[in-house]
Amino acid sequence: MNRPLRLVAALIVLLTAACQSTPEPVFEEVPPADELFAEGEKVLEGRYILFVYHRVDYSRAIEIFQSIIDNYPYSEYAVDAELRIADAYFSDGKFEEALSYYRDFADLHPDHEKVPYTIFRSALCHESQLESIERDQTATRSALVFLDRLLVRYPHSEYAREAEPMWRSLQVHLAENSESVADFYRDRGEYEAAAERYRNILNDHPGLGLDARVLFKLGECYASLRRYDEADRIYRTLVAHYADSTFAFEAQQRLASNFD
């Protein structure tokens, strides 16, 4: 056999050996959607270690529910799986990821009965990142956006009932943030800047239990600016409408002393 023929024969042998050594691809059968969903629910139940420590493998649960979405996108279980993933992230303290899934669910399934739930949960995601009243209040405002949406669109839902006290609490938090800024200006002797912010609190956050205190501080600012007529009006309003507050007593003393 001449050399070219020997090379061809060797190449054929090598290719045959390579084909024989390559394993056949193995396709793992995906369980039905209902079985996967049940498995994911089981994982979310978690397990107890030494009967004390409760551990939940949220990553594994999310992986299972995601496989339902990937393999059975038109199944009824796929929609529920989206919620389970959001809830798993929420329970794991990963609020940004949870928020993304809750918002997507409401956008993709606007007529679903669970939309009020996802809006409320979105508010909770922001509320979980609340800062103290001295710091930035972006999370507070974002939470209130979702609560407003829930209370306006779904006022009779069970989540609206839970949202109402939360809405009030966040409004107080926001008002106290504004008050802390106003106090800062007042303590620096910048009474006009402080008075403007106290007025804004009374206009934007009335009826939250802060009115008497903020009115008194506003009256003090006017008195410090020698705008005695306005201070007198504020103090008399305090005495007339908040007679049981300690600030009404203080206002009476200011009126009796004629601002001296």
Structure confidence at residue 8 as a pLDDT band (50, 70, 90): very low
Contact 64, 39 (CB under 8 A): yes
pLDDT digits (tens, 9 = 90+) for 85-102: 999 999 999 999 999 999
Other C-beta atoms lying within 10 Å of the C-beta of residue 164: 13
Q: What is the pLDDT of residues 126-145, one digit of tens each?
A: 999 988 888 889 999 999 99
CA dist 92 and 57 (Å) reads: 9
In this prediction, residue 123 has a pLDDT band, given cuts at 50, 70 and 90, of: very high
**C-alpha span between 23 and 144 (Å, rounded):** 58
* Tokens encoding 115: 């939309």
Neighbours of 22 (CB within 10 A): 8
Could you read off the pLDDT of 41-82 as tens digits, one per residue? 999 987 766 555 568 899 999 999 999 999 999 999 999 999
Question: Which is more confident, 108 or 260?
Answer: 108
Residue written as tokens 């609020």?
Answer: 95
Three-state secondary structure call for residue 64: helix
CA nearest to 105, candidates 82, 131, 74: 82
Q: Phi, psi at residue 206, to the nearest 5°? A: -75, 155
- The pLDDT tens digits for 144-173 are 999 999 999 999 999 999 999 999 999 999
- Residue given tokens 């009335």 in the structure block: 206
Q: Which segments of 15-172 are extended strands (E)?
A: 47-49, 53-55
- pTM (2 decimals)? 0.80
Instruction: Choose among 68, 70, 76, 99: nearest CA to 86.
Output: 99
| Nearest-angstrom CA–CA distance, 87 and 70 | 18
Rounded to the nearest 5°, which phi and psi values hold at 47?
-145, 155
